[in-house]
Chain A
Amino acid sequence: MELDKGLISGSMALLVMKLLEDQDLYGYQMIEELRRRSDDTFHLRAGTLYPLLHGLEEKGSVTAYEQTAENGKNRRYYHLTKQGRGVLAEKEAAWNTYARAVGQVLKGGACLAGA
């Protein structure tokens, strides 16, 4: 199912930071990992990802460092900072509240429709 782009664009920072919660990744790995975790639902464009990552870096939510990857090529790895973890926790809480509220409204709508 193709998702509405507007629906996911607002939460893209949340998803990217969530990917970095457990391990440092470089851009290409993030896109692959997001696709894998979402069962091919989220296909993030690299052209969207890098400005987003650089913006998060500016805000101090992530830091980046160059390292030679295991394939011998140099890659820029991103790391979620302590500040970023705090932002992630806030965003996750806000998202859960939002998702619960939407679910309740949808559930209520279904009840009314059935009545």
Chain B
Amino acid sequence: MQEHETIQSYLETIQEQIRWKRARPVLAQELERHLEDQRDAFIKEGRTPKEAERLAIGDMGDPLEVGAELDRVHRPRPQWGLLGLTLALSCAGAILRVSLTAGWSFEAIRLPNTILSLVFGSACLLGMYFLDISRLARHAGKFYLLILLFMVSSWFWSPAPYGIPYYTRYLALCGPTVYVFCLYSLRQKGWIGLFLAILGGFALTAIPYMAPYANATVSMLLIGFVLLLCAVRMDWFGISHKNAVTFGLILAAVSGSAYILHIAPIWDRLNIALHPELDPLTRGFHGVQIRKILESARWLGTAPLDIGNRGLAGFLPEASNDMLPTTIIYTLGWLPYLLLLAALTALLVWLLVRGLKQTHQLGRLAVVAVSLTLGFQLLFSVVLNSGIVLSSAHLPLVVGNLHTMLDMALIGLALSVFRGSSIAREEAVTPIRRIKRIRLQIEYQ
């Protein structure tokens, strides 16, 4: 065995045996702490510091063998299957957007824009895939504030057709994922942490609410609440589960009711969404048109429906955007649409199930946030394209160039969690209960 005089040179030899560079400092840190404990124990026994360090190193074993063993255990876990499926679905979405709207006099999706979005989307997917989430975790609070600031600033720099800031609507979809970092930064801060976490959630909900973007607001409220409960369940705030859950439930009931009352007349809107024939020329127009298409659609092939001489975009406005799924049903039939839905659902369920198995808590919650965000979008889109028009919604990876890029970035982040799961580490926190106990002991003494 090669002789090492210092802990640092010993650790360097171990690290040289580990091929995954990102794993090296993570693993070396734990070994270094161990060697320091062992060295201190030898010093307490009466050894000199130099001798103690040498003995501690000898006690750990041959660095080549230790490094080789760690190298065997720690390897990146490539996610080629999920990456491939995401790319395949994005390409299918791009082909559908361009081919189904080709030749339309208006609302046609242009090929160069779609190719550009696919290239940028793939870069986002891979960029996020290779991202080290533990680095973000170290600056979780700052990351949350930075994104929040960016979202708020988008009100000012974003173009605003019809007074609605265009990019804010897209950024709002990142809300639940960003919220995970807010929760993570407030770990072990007790009731103050829980209070700040709720405030942080409301700040993120206010952005889509003011955009206005109803489905992103509802998603943020629901997913944010689920994430908050998960954080309580994982003891992130260091307070009693029962108290925190009771508090959370009351808060959810109050905020949910306030939101529903505020967006009144919700019942009237719901009534028109369910019965669009009551107002077929204005508020129920989209619903009536979608239902006409669905009623005449075939399993395979174009529906035998007279859509007039202005084409599908004239018959159904937004047929190349939120209503693209209806366009798919009209032009290609039910079967291709259902196959597409099945593939998207499989991807999201796969993400969620694997995410729930993650032992790294931040990673687990981030994957849950991503899969629920995209899952809600899928659900809202299915409802919308069933003729129940409540809010704008996009089918993930299929509808919208910018939406697709954003979806790919979110999926890339989730996949990075799986890739680096072997070396994912939670940041150390001092439990608040322990601090209180120490304080009590000091006061008593």
Which one of A15-23, A55-63, A85-93 is at the B interface?
A55-63
A residues near B (Cβ < 8 Å) are 27-28, 45-48, 50-51, 54-55, 57-58, 60, 63-68, 73-76
Q: Are B428 and A66 in contact (CB under 8 A)?
A: yes
Give every chain A residue within 8 A of B59 (Cβ-Cβ): 45-46
| Chain A CB within 10 Å, residue with most, of B63, B70, B359 | B359
5 A–B contact pairs at CB < 8 A? A28-B34, A67-B428, A67-B429, A68-B429, A75-B33
With an 8 A cutoff between CB atoms, is B309 at the interface?
no
Q: Are A51 and B30 in contact (CB under 8 A)?
A: no
With an 8 A cutoff between CB atoms, is B203 at the interface?
no
Cβ-defined partner of B430 (8 Å) among A28, A47, A68:
A68
With an 8 A cutoff between CB atoms, is B31 at the interface?
yes
Give every chain A residue within 8 A of B69 (Cβ-Cβ): 47-48, 51
Q: Are A47 and B426 in contact (CB under 8 A)?
A: no
B35: nearest chain-A partner, CB-CB: A46
Q: Are B31 and A66 in contact (CB under 8 A)?
A: no
Interface string of B413-440 (1 = CB under 8 A from A): 0000000001001111111000000000
Interface residue total, chain B, C-beta cutoff 8 A: 29
Number of A-B contacts (CB under 8 A): 71
The CA-CA distance from A73 to B59 in the complex, in Å, is 21
How many whole Å from A70's CB to the nearest CB in chain B? Answer: 8
Say whether, besides A47-B60, A68-B429, A28 and B37 are in contact (CB < 8 Å).
yes
Q: Are A55 and B73 in contact (CB under 8 A)?
A: yes
Contact residues, B261-302 vs A (CB, 8 A): none
Cβ-defined partner of B72 (8 Å) among A28, A47, A51, A66:
A51
Q: Are A27 and B30 in contact (CB under 8 A)?
A: yes
Q: Are B425 and A58 in contact (CB under 8 A)?
A: no
How many whole Å from B54's CB to the nearest CB in chain A? Answer: 15
Q: Are A67 and B431 in contact (CB under 8 A)?
A: yes
Q: Are A63 and B359 in contact (CB under 8 A)?
A: yes
How many whole Å from B72's CB to the nearest CB in chain A? Answer: 7
Say whether, besides A27-B34, A76-B30, A50 and B66 are in contact (CB < 8 Å).
yes
Give every chain A residue within 8 A of B430 (Cβ-Cβ): 67-68
The CA-CA distance from A57 to B424 in the complex, in Å, is 11
With an 8 A cutoff between CB atoms, is B4 at the interface?
no
Q: Are B30 and A50 in contact (CB under 8 A)?
A: yes
